[in-house]
Amino acid sequence: MVSSVLLLVLMQSGALCARRFRGGRNPQPRRAPPPPTYRADRGDTTESFPLDFTAVEENMNDFMTQVKNLAQSLYPCSAQKLDYDMRLNFLENTSVTCNDGSPAGYYLKESRGSRRWLIFLEGGWYCFNKENCDSRYETMRRLMSSSKWPQTKTGTGILSPLPEENPHWWNANMVFIPYCSSDVWSGVTAKTEQSGYAFMGSLIIQEVLKDLLNKGLDNAKVLLLAGSSAGGTGVLLNVDRVAELLEGLGHTGIQVRGLSDSGWFLDNKQYHCTDCVDTVSCAPTETIKRGIKYWGGVVPEKCKQAHEGEEWNCFFGYRVFPSIKSPVFVVQWLFDEAQLTVDNIQLTGQPVQEGQWRYIQNLEIFNYWIDVQVKGTSLPRALHCWDRSLHDNRNNKAPPKGCPVHLIDSCPWPHCNPTCPTIRDQFTGQEMNVIQFLMHMGFDVQKMAQQQGMDPSKLLGMLSSGS
Packing angle of the helix pair 456-465, 445-452 (nearest 10 deg): 100
- pTM of this structure: 0.73
Q: What is the pLDDT of residue 417?
A: 79
pLDDT value of residue 422: 72
Phi, psi of 328 (to 5 degrees): -135, 135
* pLDDT, tens digit (0-9, with 9 covering 90-100), for 126-164: 999 999 999 999 999 999 999 999 999 999 999 999 998
Q: How far is CA 467 from CA 9, 29, 332, 450, in A?
A: 51, 68, 21, 18
How far is the C-alpha of 105 from the C-alpha of 339, rounded, in Å? 29
Contact indicator for 302, 313 with CB cutoff of 8 Å? no
pLDDT of residue 5: 32
Neighbours of 285 (CB within 10 A): 19
Angle between helix 230-248 and 201-212 (nearest 10): 50
Alpha-carbon span 145 to 179, nearest angstrom: 9
Fold adopted by 82-370 = Rossmann fold (3.40.50)
Q: Rounded CA gap, 364 and 380, in Å?
A: 15
Cβ proximity of 291 and 183 under 8 Å: yes
Per-residue confidence (pLDDT) for residue 42, from 0 to 100: 37
How confident is the model over 17-74, as pLDDT tens digits? 433 333 333 334 444 444 433 333 334 443 343 444 444 444 555 555 555 555 545 5
Provide CB contacts within 8 A for 453, sequence distance 6+: none
CA dist 262 and 192 (Å) reads 32
User: Which among 420, 464, 457, 409 has a CA at the least distance from the CA of 438?
Assistant: 464
Q: What is the pLDDT of residue 53?
A: 43
- Residue 454: predicted pLDDT: 78
Q: Are 188 and 203 in contact (CB under 8 A)?
A: yes
The pLDDT value given to residue 21: 30
Secondary structure class of 30 (helix, strand, coil): coil
pLDDT tens track of the chain, all 467 residues? 433 333 333 233 333 343 333 333 333 444 444 443 333 333 444 334 344 444 444 455 555 555 555 554 554 444 444 567 999 999 999 999 999 999 999 999 999 899 999 999 999 889 999 999 999 999 999 999 999 999 999 999 999 999 989 999 999 999 999 999 999 999 999 998 888 999 999 999 999 999 999 999 999 999 999 999 899 999 999 999 999 999 999 999 999 999 999 888 777 554 445 566 665 667 778 889 999 999 999 999 999 999 999 999 999 999 999 999 999 999 987 655 554 554 444 444 444 444 444 444 444 556 677 888 888 888 899 999 999 889 877 777 776 777 887 888 877 666 677 787 776 666 677 777 666 766 665 566 677 677 767 777 777 676 665 55
Give the three-class secondary structure for 367: helix
Concatenate the DSSP letters of all residues of 126-160 into one string. Answer: ---SHHHHHHHHHH-GGGT--TT--SEEE--GGG-
Domain ranges of the chain: 82-370, 411-466
Sign of CA dihedral 275, 277, 280, 285: positive
Q: How would you classify the pairing of strands 373-374 and 377-378? A: antiparallel
